[in-house]
Structure 1
Amino acid sequence: MGLFGSLTCLAPSADPIEGTTMSITGPILVFLANGVQGGAVVQAALRRGHPVRRLVRRPQGSDPVGTETVLGDLDDPRSLAVACAGVAHLVLQVPTGDAAEMARRAQSVVDAARQAGVRSLVLKLASASRPAPCAEPSFIANAAVEAVVRAAGLPCAVLRPTMYLDNLLKPSVTADIVRHGVFSPPIAAEQRIAWTCADDCAEAAIRLLERGAYGGDHCIAGPVSATGPELAATVAKAIGKPVAYHAQLIERFEAEVDAAMGQGAGRRIASKFRYFAERPQEADDILARPFQPTSALAGFTPTPIEDWIGRHAARFR
């Protein structure tokens, strides 16, 4: 079972990056820094030569070189005040949950940031979003968090990913590919997706901070879109074994999520996939469009699917 909603560390480099406008003026505070996406932001900042403060709920091993770690919790405003003190910029991502809870947590962060004199932030939304209002819970939650951040008055930019290739690295998904040669998310086989990855979204976030490119709304997508069978064929070629794409029934996906996370969780998590299934045109608008270059992200090149699979091929053998 793969719980789709949303993983690699490269060596940091302090070499100057050609063509960047270095508007980063102090440490960057990275939220969810022990997670896949937050960890990718930490590594992207280090690669590009920036000091990083990692916000984590509990310590895990030693601090990566070039970072400091602070313990904090989005439900503890005092810990957020300590975490924000002395930093210049934030890369914020709020854990997925109830819209009111996510908005409250975002408000606690921006309150602490303003009090500490933070200069700017980039908001990374956890998954594909629909900018216009609608009834789908995850889109409502994203919109609530974005509204809080934009109302705070801090210079900010928003990143919206399509869907993460990193989902393939979740243990249950990898096990299906390795043992059974099957990739089976709750997404129609014909649905095209311009798959992105955590590393690309992280690099985009740091580039926006470097350029002081605020006020924008940036869709981070891959260079091409692929159907489910096309993605499976790319995986199969990279790992040298057959892989088939089977679209999982959404009802079965819901039942598996309920079994793993508790009654009711399945319907909440699956609602986005049901939304896509019922509105294929909107699904195309949100998921299928390849990355469009912009001046704010000049020099940013999204990772092709085959390159990403090749980078992680050993995990699937």
Structure 2
Amino acid sequence: MSMIDTSKPILVFLAGGVQGGAVLRAARARGFKVRALVRDRPCAAALQAPGVELALGDLGDAASLAAASTGIDHAVLQVPIGPAAAMTAQAESALAAFKAAGVKSFVLKLASASRPAPCEEPSFVANRMIEDTARAFGLPFAIVRPTMYLDNLLKPSALAEIMGEGVFAPPIPASQRIAWTSADDCADAALMLLERGAMGGDHRIAGPESLTGDELVARVSAGLGRTIRYHGQPLDEFEREVDAAMGQGVGRRVASKFRYFAAYPREAESILAQPFAPQPSLEDFRPTDVEAWVRAHRMKFEDADA
């Protein structure tokens, strides 16, 4: 039985992106209305659907956040990746709007798993700062965080390599085991927690299997009906490619988490490798396996090959 008043919409942040879009779909599939926060009108137009109310706004615009939060009881908050200080400021703006509007609870979707102890890796620092900020505001909330997203296979550069060259080449050695999850699974978990009023937990969402790179591509190959090879891209090469695409210095920031995993294999094992285990309020959550996920997204792969 849902503990949410279904007459009111759930506020979904970054609704025009991969993660927010998954939350929007999961909410609608469960029969909830959605208020979708998006930054621009072209993106908003693509989201128009029954049960979806559009709110133009930005995490840097306090007035738009106040308007988006008015009349809302529950939200799924995620902050775009960037420098830790900027991410924390954006989270503070959203939380201040929640507090002022009387939001009752929210799920905080973080971009990755975190170490329990402090460290200097920038993405983990940002996670910790956002978590601390959320606790300081005193509103009931739960955290959902992934191992590693299968949705990385659907990035244009990865699709081009997978379908054009038969290779998946992330900056991760083939020996590293990962229990890959997906944006859709993390969104489902977030909605289950909201639906059940299960606040206070920190939920690591993982896939059902711990896979090496070669095991991963064997399942991808089975889903696609064609052979895909795994190639762990050297981190220096990965950084140069990111810099060329996104600007000097971006590569080092993006690669820092992968360098951390390479330097601390025990941490990588605990953060990435363990399959999903039943958790309070997610006892009946069933993670999607890689082959089933690939089959569900097969059209996106095939479109890239057209």
Same fold (TM over 0.5): yes
Identify which of 261, 266, 271 aligns with 2:256: 271
| Structure 1 Cα separation of the partners of residues 58 and 298 of structure 2 | 35
Which residue is 1:132 aligned to? 117
Query: Are residues 1:24 and 2:24 paired?
Result: no
User: Whole-Å Cα distance in 2 between the matches of residues 115 and 278 of structure 1?
Assistant: 43
Q: Which residue of structure 2 aligns with residue 247 of structure 1?
A: 232
Deviation at 1:299, TM superposition (A): 2.2
Give the match for residue 54 of structure 1.
Answer: 36
Could you tell me which residue of structure 1 aligns to residue 65 of structure 2? 80
Counterpart amino acid of 1:29? L
Q: How does 1:92-171 map to 2 (within 5 A)?
A: 92-171=77-156
Q: In the alignment, what sits opposite 2:285?
A: 300
- One-letter amino acid matched to 1:225: S
SS at match of 2:145: strand
Cross-structure match for 1:195: 180
**3-state SS in 2 of match to 1:294:** coil
Contact preservation (8 Å) 1:131, 1:143: no
Alpha-carbon distance in structure 2 between the residues aligned to 1:117 and 1:49: 23
Partner residue of 2:159 out of 174, 185, 190: 174
CA–CA distance in 2 between the matches of 1:241 and 1:41? Answer: 31
AA in 2 matched with 1:134: C
Distance 2:25 2:206 in 1: 20
The count of corresponding residues between Structure 1 and Structure 2 is 297
Q: Deviations over 1:230-267 (max 9, x none)?
A: 11111112222221101000000000000111110000
Residue 213 of structure 2 corresponds to 228
Q: Report the CA distance between 1:149 and its aligned residue.
A: 0.8
User: What secondary structure is seen at the aligned counterpart in 2 of 1:218?
Assistant: strand
Tell me which amino acid in the other structure corresponds to 1:22. S
Mapped contact 1:208–1:296 kept (Cα < 8 A):
yes
- 2:75 match: 90
Give the match for residue 18 of structure 2: 36
Pair 1:311-2:271 in alignment: no
In structure 1, how many angstroms separate the alpha carbons of the residues matched to 2:275 and 2:162? 26
1:285 Cα deviation after fit: 0.3
SS of match in other structure, 1:296: coil
Unaligned runs of 5+ residues in structure 1 are 1-20
- The structure where helix makes up a greater share of residues is 2
SS in 1 for 2:111: coil
| TM superposition shift of 1:314 | 3.3
- Give the Cα separation in 2 of the matches to 1:132 and 1:211: 29
Is 1:282 the equivalent of 2:264? no
- In 2, distance between residues paired with 1:114 and 1:312? 38
Alignment match, 2:197: 212
Aligned partners of 1:239 and 1:314 also within 8 Å: no
Shift of 1:300: 1.3
Measured after TM superposition, the shift of residue 313 of structure 1 is 2.4
1:72-120 residue CA offsets vs partner (Å, 9 max, x unmatched)? 1111111100000001111000001111111111001110100000000
The 3-state SS of whatever aligns with 2:76 is: strand
Q: Distance in 1 between matches of 2:34 and 2:299?
A: 30
- Greater than 6 Å deviation, 4+ residue runs: none
| Residue identity in the other structure for 2:12 | V
1:45 and 2:27 equivalent? yes
Shift of 1:312: 1.7
1:221 CA drift (Å): 0.3
Question: Aligned Cα RMSD in Å?
Answer: 1.0
Q: Structure 2 CA distance, aligned partners of 1:131 and 1:262?
A: 32
Gaps of 5+ in 2: none
Letter aligned with residue 93 of structure 2:
S
The CA deviation at 1:171 is: 0.9
